[in-house]
Amino acid sequence: MARDEIKTGYKLIGTRPNRPDGLDKVTGRARYGADFSLPGMLWAAVVRSPHAHARIKKIDMSKAMALAGVKAVITRADLPTGLTGEDLNLQDNTLAGDKALYDGHAVAAVAATSALVAQDAARLIEVEYEILPHVIDVDAAMAPQAPVIREGVADYSVPEGMHPNVSRYIEFGHGDVEAGFAAADIVREQTYKTEATHQGYIEPHACVGQMGEDGRGEMWVCTQGHWYIRRMCASVLGIEAANLRVTPSEIGGGFGGKTTIFMEPLALALSKKAGGRPVKLVMTRSEVLRATGPTASASMDVKLGMTSDGTITAGQIYFRMQGGAFPGMSPIGEALPCAFACYDIPALRHEAVEVIANRPKAAAYRAPGSPMAAFAVESLVDEMCRELKLDPIEVRLKNGARNGSKSSYGPVYNVIGLQETLEAAKAHPNYQIPLGPNQGRGVASGFWFNHGGETSVSLAVGEDGTATVSVGTPDIGGSRASLALMVAECLGIAYENVRVNIVETGALGVNEPTHGSRATFASGKAAVAAARQAIAEMCRRAAADWGIDPEAVEWKDGAAHPAGPNAGKFPPMTIGEIGAKMGSTGGPISGHHEVTAEGVGASFGTHVVDVEVDPETGRTTVLRYLVVQDAGTAIHPAYVEGQYQGGAAQGIGWALNEEYVYGPDGRLQNAAFLDYRIPVASDLPMIDTVIVEVPNPGHPYGVRGVGETGITPPLPAIAAAVAGATGARIRSLPLSPPKVLAAIKDARKG
C-alpha cells in the first residue's frame, strides 16, 4: 500500500472511547480461564519433580488410585510415542519421560471429584528418583565440566568441539570490523549478564478439557492463541487438530508466556481416561513460576569502537543464552538482530550460542531477546558516552538508523521513527530537570520488529446496519476497542455499532496468537479488508436498486452514494437500509479476509529515566520516567499509552528486582510473588508518555504495533541512571540493593 493512501483527519481513529468489554471487566462478570465450569466436571492436580535433574526410576500410583473420588491418574506411559522434534519437546515438557529436567517438571497428573481430593491424591503418588548432577547458570552449562543434560540437542549450526549442552549457533555480520576498530579513538569491551525473569501475568494458567475415547474433544483455556493450543495438544496427544475445538477465555495477561502449552494436554488425557468427564486444571502461582516459561538468562560480550566525536565505527557481540532444558527456546535469533537495530554502523559482527540448562522450558516474553541485547549494547554505548563526555541522545541521533538505512540484520528500513523519538525525548521537559545529590539520569533506545502472521477475520452486516467482527486474536489489552474503531472508521458507522468477538477455532481459518504486537496490526488490517469487501457488496446492492453500474457508486459516511452527477440522482442508501432488505436483495452481506499479513512496520522507542540511589542501603527509587515511542498511528491512544507504561514497568522490574534465584540444589528459591517481586504501586512514579506517529505504509491506517518495544530500553536506561547517581557501573541485573551497595563501596575504594 502506498504511503499516500494513509489519510489523516479520521473521525474515530485517535479517539478514546470506552472499551467494549470494560463493563464485564469492572463488574467481575468477564470469564477468565479458571472461571469456566461444566456439569460433571473433575478437578486435576499435577505431581512435579522436586529435583533439578533426576532419573525417574519408579512411579507408584496405587495409593492414589485407591483414594475415594479419584477418577484417573496419568504418567508419560499414557501419552503416545514416536514424536520427534519440537512435538517431542512439547510432550517431554508436558510430562517427563525417563528424566525430570528441572525443579517443577511434571511427572504425573490426577483427576478427582474435587480439587482437595485431587491434591490429596497427588501427594499419595510415590516417585522414586535417582538424583543427577545439574547445571543452572548459562556460562557454567557450557563449561567443559558441565553435566550433559540431554544427548543430541545440537543442531547442524553448532560448530564441532562445543559442549553437548550447546544446541544452536548463529553468526552474521557485515563490513570490516577490524578496520572499524582501528579507526576508532576508543575501543571498549565488556561482559553483561541478565537473569531469567517471568512474564508475571496475574492469572495463572487454567483450562477445562474434555475428550472422549474417540479422541474428539473440547477445551476452554486462557491463551494468547487457541489455534496454537489446538495444534500443540493434537501433536502431544496424537489426535487430529480438527477433532479438538478450542475456545479462548478472557485472558489475565500473557506477555508471550501464553503462546504455548504447558499443562493443557494433561486435562484432555485425564478426561479421556476418566470416561470423557470434563477436567479443570488450574495452576498455582508456585507452579506458574516453577514450570511455565520464564525468559532466558543471558551472558553477553560487547565490543564497540567510537571516535571522540561520538561516531560508532564498529561493533561486535557474542551472546550466550539458556532457555531451559529444551533446545530452541532461547531468543538468540531475535536478540542478535535487535542488538544494533537502532544504529547505522558500517561494520558489525554478531555471534550467539544457545545452551540448555536445568531450568523450565522458556517461553516468549515481550520483545523476546531484545531487552537483554539492549542492556548489553546500550549500556556500553552509555559507558563510552560518559567516558567521552558526550550527550547520549546526540550520540544516538548521530549514529541512529533512519529511513533508508540498511538495518544491522540486513533489510533496508523503509519508514521508521527512531530519530523522531530521540528528538522528542531531547525536547521533553524531563530531559532538562536538574538532578540532585545521589540522582542520575539514563537514556536508552529500543526496537522491536513487530509481526504480521497468519490472520483470518470475518465481518457480517446486521439487519440494522451494525457490524459483527469475528477475530482470532484474544484481547489482552484493549484490541476489541482498536479493532472496532478501525472497522467503524472504514464503514462510516458509530463505534458502538461494531461488536468484535474473539471466536473459537471452528469459526475461522488458522490465526496466530496475539503475539509480536500483531493484534491491532494484522487483525486490524484483515478486518479493514473484510469491511471493504462488505462495502463493495453494499455498493453493488445499491447499484442494483438504482439500476446503475456498481462502479458508479461510492461509499462514504455509512451509506452508498452515486459517485457523481453523471451516476444519477439518488438519495444516499445507508448501511441500515441496505441491511434491512438484504434478504430480498441477494442474501447476507459479509466480508472475509485471510492473509499472512505483510507490511509490518518496526517500532522504535527512547526512554529517559531519573533515579535516586540511597547510598546507605543501595536502594534505587525511580523518580520520573519518560517513554517516547513510535506507534505509527495510535488507534486508541489510551491503550497505546497503557502498552508503553506497562512495558516500562516490566522493564523496571527486570532492572531492579526480578530474578530467578536457585539454591545449590538447583531448586527455585523464590517461587512466590512475595519473593519474586514484581513492581508494586508504591515502587513506581507516574510514567510519562509521548506517542510519536510516523505512519506505517504497510497498514491502511498506519499501525505499527506497540506492545513490545517498551520493555527494551528500561534495562540499560536504569543501569545508566544508577551509574550516574553512584559512579558505579553494574553490568549484571537485577540492580538489587545489596549489589548496588557493594558496587558503591567498590567505586569509593577506586
Positions that interact with another protein (CB under 8 A)? 16, 18-19, 21-32, 34-35, 114-116, 199-204, 250-255, 282, 284-285, 476-478, 636, 638-639, 641-642, 645-646, 648-650, 672-674, 678-684, 686-687
- State the minimum distance, in angstroms, from the CB of residue 463 to another protein: 29
Shorter beta-carbon distance to another protein: residue 282 or 341: 282
Sheet containing strand 126-131, edge to edge, reads: 99-100, 54-60, 126-131
Shorter beta-carbon distance to another protein: residue 252 or 371: 252
- State the minimum distance, in angstroms, from the CB of residue 527 to another protein: 20
Torsional class of 28: left (φ above 0), alpha (ψ -120 to 50), beta (otherwise): left
- State the minimum distance, in angstroms, from the CB of residue 673 to another protein: 4
- In whole angstroms, what is the distance from residue 507 CA to residue 504 CA? 6
- In whole angstroms, what is the distance from residue 210 CA to residue 216 CA? 8
- In whole angstroms, what is the distance from residue 93 CA to residue 80 CA? 14
Place of cell 545439574: 134
Query: Could you give the 3-state DSSP secondary structure of residue 399?
Result: helix
Sheet containing strand 244-248, edge to edge, reads: 70-74, 106-112, 42-48, 279-282, 206-211, 217-221, 244-248
Shorter beta-carbon distance to another protein: residue 127 or 691: 691
Asked if 74 contacts 211 with a C-beta cutoff of 8 angstroms, the reply is no
- State the minimum distance, in angstroms, from the CB of residue 269 to another protein: 23
- State the minimum distance, in angstroms, from the CB of residue 366 to another protein: 11
Shorter beta-carbon distance to another protein: residue 19 or 193: 19
**What's at 235, amino acid-wise?**
S
- State the minimum distance, in angstroms, from the CB of residue 524 to another protein: 17
Asked if 543 contacts 584 with a C-beta cutoff of 8 angstroms, the reply is no
Nearest to 299 by CA among 323, 315, 322: 322
Shorter beta-carbon distance to another protein: residue 346 or 642: 642
The C-alpha R_g of the chain, in whole angstroms, comes to: 27
Shorter beta-carbon distance to another protein: residue 262 or 546: 262
Sequence-ordered list of residues with C-beta below 8 angstroms from that of 693, at least 6 positions apart, any chain: 417, 630, 631, 632, 633, 634, 702
- In whole angstroms, what is the distance from residue 644 CA to residue 706 CA? 7
Query: Could you give the 3-state DSSP secondary structure of residue 391?
Result: coil
- State the minimum distance, in angstroms, from the CB of residue 485 to another protein: 13
Residues facing residue 45 across a β-bridge: 110
Query: Could you give the 3-state DSSP secondary structure of residue 175?
Result: coil
Shorter beta-carbon distance to another protein: residue 100 or 110: 110
Shorter beta-carbon distance to another protein: residue 707 or 724: 707
Asked if 79 contacts 237 with a C-beta cutoff of 8 angstroms, the reply is yes
SS3 content of the chain, % helix, strand, coil (to 5): 30, 25, 45
- State the minimum distance, in angstroms, from the CB of residue 274 to another protein: 19
Asked if 280 contacts 268 with a C-beta cutoff of 8 angstroms, the reply is no
Shorter beta-carbon distance to another protein: residue 459 or 649: 649
- State the minimum distance, in angstroms, from the CB of residue 641 to another protein: 8
Shorter beta-carbon distance to another protein: residue 249 or 470: 249
- In whole angstroms, what is the distance from residue 165 CA to residue 173 CA? 25
- State the minimum distance, in angstroms, from the CB of residue 714 to another protein: 11
Residue 1: CB atoms within 10 Å: 13
Report the number of secondary-structure helices (H) and strands (E) in the chain: 20, 26
- State the minimum distance, in angstroms, from the CB of residue 248 to another protein: 13
- State the minimum distance, in angstroms, from the CB of residue 223 to another protein: 13
- State the minimum distance, in angstroms, from the CB of residue 652 to another protein: 8
For strand 279-282 and strand 42-48, is the pairing parallel, antiparallel, or unpaired? Answer: parallel
Shorter beta-carbon distance to another protein: residue 90 or 471: 471
Shorter beta-carbon distance to another protein: residue 459 or 703: 703
- State the minimum distance, in angstroms, from the CB of residue 653 to another protein: 9
Asked if 381 contacts 717 with a C-beta cutoff of 8 angstroms, the reply is no
For every residue of 121-138, DSSP letters joined together read: HHHH-EEEEEE-----SH
Of the CA atoms within 13 Å of residue 539, those in its CB half-sphere come to: 20
Nearest to 373 by CA among 410, 334, 327: 334
Residues facing residue 594 across a β-bridge: 456
Shorter beta-carbon distance to another protein: residue 357 or 627: 627
- State the minimum distance, in angstroms, from the CB of residue 199 to another protein: 8
Q: Which three cell numbers stand for residue 568?
A: 444519477
Shorter beta-carbon distance to another protein: residue 218 or 250: 250
Shorter beta-carbon distance to another protein: residue 34 or 600: 34
Residue 12: CB atoms within 10 Å: 20
Nearest to 317 by CA among 400, 408, 398: 408
- In whole angstroms, what is the distance from residue 590 CA to residue 592 CA? 7
